């Protein structure tokens, strides 16, 4: 779209500049010729008056008489009516403008501009007009390119946001106060954010309802299975045993369905395409570093995993992005991202040097509508939902300064086949409670 807009706008601008340049050159050419002709005609009148006076006084004209009245840079030719020899004075003949004047009955005087100023003025004007046109073309290219970038950058951003939504990353487009400056696109971004919030809320409610219903069905199904097993072993009535066995098979199939619901979206068969965790981390660094640079802060990363560690890019990217954004908005100083693979767990940690999280908010930091800075409080809650959807969770392991840790079970990602080297100083994920925070 940007190329098409750039080509179309630039073609219009170049067409207007070309038409303007041609009109200016034609006007200059005609105007210069007209002015030069008028100047020669005026000089011819003066020469004719002087030669008429000399001719009346002497009765004839000579070459010195012509030289006496010759204008600088011109040529004077005299043709007598009596049939005598022509008289010439001045510069060599040129193609410049000329004018003829008749001197009574003595003959005709022709004054010719031999300076070449007309030709020089013509081409000098053409060169100036071409130079101005070239400058206008360069200016038009810069303006059109800047305008096309300003118009298409928000569209590309919205398209990228739509791709993230399709991959399961339910983050808003950008903060409400940091829009594009184009009313229509800002309205579209607000509508998309509102839709994302509604979809995320519905998905969370649906997931919670599904898990609750599955858990509630699991216990009575287990009890029913035990009763049917007892009936299947009834010693006296073969018909009862047959019916009990058939019913037990049905209950076992139903239990399988419930088990599938309990897996939520963590089943490998339900996953989208996986990508290396290092690539997800690098993409988030590239996306967020300009915002950190604009805030005069540093965003660094330690990615201690290889390309064999693959994850679902949508939810995992959403979790990492939400933690980075939370640090940008609420934290201070350097923000550090660390990614490691420890035994059966992947750790992704985000920490900064800010004031941390107040004690009254820390226990509920992942609850919806809980925020310490007047924001929506949706970011960390949505990030926790995204983490749960891929079999992970987020824990606040330190309040001041804030330190978040995203635990991801490698067993939920069978493509992660090569074990990483053990880091003896780091505890296993199961050793740190996800609902417990420490204060330093």
Q: pLDDT tens digits, residue range 134-183? A: 898 888 888 888 877 777 777 777 777 777 776 666 666 665 556 677 77
**DSSP string computed for 364-424:** GTTSTT--SSSS-S-HHHHHHHHHHHTTEEEEEEETTTTEEEEEEEGGG-TT--SPPPP-T
Chain Cα centroid distance, residue 11: 23
Flag whether pLDDT at 427 surpasses 50: no
Please give the backbone phi and psi of residue 112, each rounded to the nearest 5 degrees, phi first: -120, 135
CB 168 within 8 Å of CB 195 = no
Strand partners, 112: 75, 98
Q: Band of the pLDDT at 403, cuts 50, 70, 90?
A: very high
Query: Judging by DSSP bridges, how do beta strands 107-113 and 74-80 pair with one another?
Result: antiparallel
Query: Mind listing the domains of the chain with CATH numbers?
Result: 2-118 (3.30.450.250), 183-264 (1.10.287), 275-431 (3.30.565.10)
**DSSP string computed for 247-280:** HHHHHHHHHHHHHHHHTTT-SGGG----EEHHHH
**The pair of three-digit structure tokens given for residue 53, joined into one six-digit string:** 């006076």
Comparing 287 with 252, the larger pLDDT belongs to 287
| pLDDT tens digit sequence for 19-51 | 888 888 888 878 877 887 888 888 888 888 888
Report the alpha-carbon distance of residue 313 to residue 319 in Å, rounded: 10
Residue 363 DSSP symbol: G
| pLDDT tens digit sequence for 309-328 | 888 887 888 889 889 988 99
Residue 440 DSSP symbol: -
Least confident of 211-220, 223-232, 396-405: 211-220
* Range among 122-131, 142-151, 407-416 rated most confident: 122-131
Least confident of 185-189, 288-292, 421-425: 421-425
Assess whether the previous peptide bond of 325 is cis (omega < 30° from 0): no
Average pLDDT, the chain: 76
Q: What does the pLDDT average to over 403-411?
A: 85
Sign, Cα dihedral of 396, 398, 404, 407? negative
* Range among 104-113, 169-178, 248-257, 280-289 rated most confident: 280-289
Q: What does the pLDDT average to over 75-81?
A: 83
Question: What is the pLDDT, as a whole number, of residue 423?
Answer: 37
Flag whether pLDDT at 348 surpasses 90: yes
Please give the backbone phi and psi of residue 85, each rounded to the nearest 5 degrees, phi first: -70, 145
Token pair 């029913």 is at which residue? 224
Q: What does the pLDDT average to over 61-75?
A: 83
**The pair of three-digit structure tokens given for residue 422, joined into one six-digit string:** 């053990």
Token pair 């409670």 is at which residue? 433
Q: What percent of the chain is modeled with pLDDT above 70?
A: 78
Residue 428 DSSP symbol: P
Flag whether pLDDT at 265 surpasses 80: no
Chain Cα centroid distance, residue 81: 83
CB 323 within 8 Å of CB 329 = no
Flag whether pLDDT at 223 surpasses 70: yes
| pLDDT tens digit sequence for 366-381 | 887 776 665 556 778 8
């Amino acid at each position: 779209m940007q190329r098409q807009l750039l080509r179309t706008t630039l073609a219009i601008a170049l067409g207007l500049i070309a038409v303007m340049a041609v009109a200016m050159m034609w006007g200059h050419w005609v105007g210069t010729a007209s002015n030069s002709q008028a100047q020669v005609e005026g000089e011819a009148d003066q020469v004719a008056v002087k030669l008429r006076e000399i001719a009346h006084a002497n009765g004839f004209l000579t070459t010195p008489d012509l030289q006496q009245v010759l204008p600088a840079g011109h040529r004077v030719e005299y043709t007598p009516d009596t049939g005598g020899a022509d008289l010439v004075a001045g510069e060599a003949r040129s193609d410049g403008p000329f004018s003829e004047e008749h001197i009574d009955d003595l003959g005709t005087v022709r004054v010719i501009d031999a300076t070449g100023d007309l030709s020089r003025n013509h081409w000098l004007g053409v060169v100036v007009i071409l130079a101005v046109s070239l400058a206008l073309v360069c200016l038009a290219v810069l303006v059109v390119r800047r305008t096309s970038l300003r118009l298409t950058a928000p569209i590309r951003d919205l398209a990228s946001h739509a791709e993230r939504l399709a991959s399961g990353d339910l983050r808003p487009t950008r903060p409400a106060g940091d829009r594009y400056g184009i009313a229509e696109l800002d309205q579209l971004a607000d509508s998309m954010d509102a839709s994302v919030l509604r979809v995320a809320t519905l998905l969370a409610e649906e997931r919670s309802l599904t898990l609750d219903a599955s858990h509630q069905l699991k216990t009575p199904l287990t009890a029913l299975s035990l009763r049917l097993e007892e009936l299947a072993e009834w010693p006296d009535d073969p018909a009862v045993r047959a019916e009990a066995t058939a019913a037990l098979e049905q209950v076992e199939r139903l239990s399988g369905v419930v088990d599938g619901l309990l897996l939520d979206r963590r089943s490998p068969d339900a996953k989208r395409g996986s990508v290396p965790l290092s690539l997800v981390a690098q993409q988030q660094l590239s996306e967020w570093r300009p915002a950190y640079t604009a805030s005069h802060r540093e965003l660094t990363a330690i990615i201690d995993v290889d390309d064999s560690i693959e994850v679902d890019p949508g939810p995992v990217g959403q979790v990492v992005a939400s933690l980075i954004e939370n640090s940008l908005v609420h934290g201070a100083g350097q923000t550090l991202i660390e990614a490691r693979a420890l035994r059966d767990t992947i750790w992704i940690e985000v920490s900064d040097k800010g004031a941390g999280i107040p004690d009254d908010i820390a226990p509920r930091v992942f609850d919806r509508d809980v925020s310490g800075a007047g924001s929506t409080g949706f970011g960390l809650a949505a990030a926790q939902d995204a983490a749960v959807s891929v079999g992970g969770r987020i824990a606040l392991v330190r309040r001041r300064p804030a330190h978040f840790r995203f635990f991801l079970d490698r067993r939920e990602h069978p493509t992660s086949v090569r074990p990483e080297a053990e880091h003896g100083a780091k505890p296993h994920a199961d050793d740190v409670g996800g609902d417990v925070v420490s204060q330093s």
